[in-house]
Amino acid sequence: MTSLSFELTIGILKIFSFVVPVLVSVALLVYLERKVLGAVQLRKGPNVVGPFGILQSFADVLKLLTKENLLPSSSNKFLFIFAPMLTLILSLIAWAVIPISSTYVIANINIGILYLFAVSSFGVYGVIIAGWASNSKYPFLGALRSAAQMISYEVSIGFVIITVLICVGSLNLIDIVESQKNMWFAIPLLPMFVIFIISALAETNRLPFDLPEDEATLVAGFFTEYSSISFGLFFLAEYANMILMSSLTVILFLGGWYPPIDIFPLNAIPGIFWFVIKVFLILFVFLWVRATFPRYRYDQLMRLGWKIFLPFTLIWVVITSAFLFYFGLLPN
Amino acid sequence: MFLVGSFFLFAAFLITTCIFVIFSKNPVNSVLFLVLAFLNSTFLFILIGAEFVGIILAIVYIGAVAILFLFVVMMLDIQITTLMFNIKRYIPLALLFAGIILAEIIYLTVFKTSKENLDTFIRSKNNTEQIGDVLYTEYFIDFQLSGIVLLLAMIGAIVLTHVYRPTIKRQNIESQNSTTAEDRVKLVKIKSGEGIKDD
């Protein structure tokens, strides 16, 4: 019995060691986003609260917590409250299988990548339920847009993942990273890498694909009716999802915890450092894209997903498997 | 003990959610209970060690099929009272299907399965690899046939719903991109006092 409770304690500590850094980095990511946007637009960005304004996000969270949580009278109360919780829970449970280094992971399961894919596809439910339970027109339109958008881009994400899996021969995330020891998949699979990043932008509802929360046409999209902490949960979930998709990009294409070149001063640095640096770079790309590109129109978004990405990734799966088969490079 | 306990827990949840799917008054709640039912059956698959089948069930049914159900049901304007009237009409059909499925289950469990074989088969390898080994070799024809059935269903749905409307305005992106300034703007020299000639 003591060993069981000991293992339980270790497990809970491990979970906290993932969740707390993720939530803190969400706060810092919001700060980073405002600073990057400020720099791109020749402004200063937040610079009042704390040194260089670094405590700005924490101040915002406190402000959200002290506000009143409004429930629209015509809404479906249970689902209205449940939706933001579901969204945040889904964006946090995905971290159970993310390997930060070759040994540090909560659950090293055989089908890690499928688990991640499943959890990220459940993310639509939070948005749809929020939009429907609000019983209001703008959230409803936002929810419909979001459902169509996320399903469309999941298809191409699925094909990109299949291409990587053909090269690895395993669904285990640690195996995926370890097969990139000599060459990151971003180099031989460069087109898939680019498509994955663009689809990740669409999957996390980020600009230029943030049509579910398009403020110019839909007020605030699916969370128009949300206030206070229930809005805060959506906000946290969106940024936690951004960090998750960046980590997934790093695991699939940028060699996880491996240094760029396997030589002495670089490989002496702990793997977790490389992992964090790469995630940070991908996140910077997310913010950079936001500052640079205008928003897509909805039909353009659908055309890109179904008529360009889907055929392209499908053909690339065939080409990759044919190449590996012909040259006898298939794993196992 | 832990496994048996979790089996009964998830099985009980599964049956309860299925009952709620049928008896919920609001169709959106029905679909959400259906999602819970799928989730519980995923857990049951994972409990017997078939994690690949379980997670694929979750991806396909929860991640795509149930979302489309929800999508459709959300947009319907449903009078709840009229829905409850019709439920008795379907009882004979429902009993027929239940009978067929029960007969299939009895046939499979009593006559087809030999327990020892199954156990050694399951434990020998990682079950993703097992499915991969037999899917395109032993069951190649069945697999392709089920693919064709799905394709036919999809084409049928598109044919039934797609109406070509010639009056609708469509965007031709290639022609838009290939236009140059010369196609759209013309520089005209006008002598003073004459104005533009309409030609």
Q: pLDDT digits over B5-45, tens only?
A: 888 899 999 999 999 888 887 888 888 999 999 999 999 88
Partners of residue A90 in chain B, C-beta under 8 Å: none
| Rounded mean pLDDT, A118-126 | 87
Distance (Å) from the C-alpha of residue B58 to the closest C-alpha of chain A? 7
Percent of chain A with pLDDT over 70: 98
Separation of alpha carbons A330 and A324, rounded Å: 5
How far A200 CA sits from the closest chain B CA (Å)?
16
- pLDDT exceeds 80 at position A166: yes
Neighboring chain B residues of A143 at a CB cutoff of 8 Å: 74
Minimal Cα–Cα distance from B165 to chain A, Å? 18
Residues of A in contact with B59 (CB under 8 A): 114, 117-118, 121
For residue B70, the chain A residues in CB contact (below 8 A) are 125, 128, 147
Range in A104-108, A126-130, B65-69, B87-91 the model is least confident about: B87-91
The whole-number pLDDT of residue B82 equals 58
Complex ipTM: 0.81
Rg value, chain B, Cα: 29
User: Is B128 or B39 the better-scoring residue by pLDDT?
Assistant: B39
In this prediction, residues A97-120 reach a mean pLDDT of 86
B155: confidence class by pLDDT, cuts 50, 70, 90: very high
Measured between alpha carbons, how far is A216 from A208 in angstroms, rounded to an integer?
Answer: 13
* Chain A residues with beta carbon closer than 8 angstroms to that of B63: 117-118, 121-122, 124, 154
The confidence band for B122, taking pLDDT boundaries of 50, 70 and 90, is: low
- Which pair of tokens denotes residue A230? 């229930």
Which residues, numbered 66 to 95 in chain A, qualify as contacts with chain B under a Cβ-Cβ cut-off of 8 Å?
Answer: 79
**Better pLDDT: B172 or A164:** A164
DSSP state of B88: G
Q: Is A293 helix (H, G, I), strand (E, B) or coil?
A: coil
Q: What average pLDDT score do residues A279-293 get?
A: 91
CB nearest to A118's CB, from B32, B35, B63 = B63
- Report which of residues B122 and B52 the model is more confident about: B52
Q: Report d(CA A87, CA A154) in Å as an integer.
A: 17
For B185, the token pair is: 């703007």
Mean pLDDT along residues A167-182: 86
CA A244 – CA A200 distance, rounded (Å): 10
Whether chain A has a CB inside 8 Å of the CB on B150: the answer is no
Q: Give the rounded percent of residues in chain A with a pLDDT score beyond 90.
A: 17
Dump pLDDT digits (tens) for A198-242: 999 888 888 788 877 776 777 777 788 888 888 888 888 889 999
Count of CB atoms within 10 A of residue B191's CB?
6
In this complex, do A111 and B67 lie within 8 Å of one another by their Cβ atoms?
no
**pLDDT tens figures, B102-116:** 999 888 877 766 555
| Mean pLDDT of the B186-192 span | 80
Q: Given this model, what pLDDT does residue A1 score?
A: 53
**Single-letter amino acid code for the residue at B8:** F
Q: Is B70 on the interface with A (CB under 8 A)?
A: yes
Spatial neighbors of A297 by CB under 8 A, at least 6 apart, are none
Determine the pLDDT at residue B16: 93
Judged by CB atoms closer than 8 Å, whether chains meet at A114 and B35 is answered as no
The pLDDT, as a whole number, for residue B78 is 63
What's residue B101's pLDDT?
93
- A111 in reach of chain B (CB within 8 A): yes
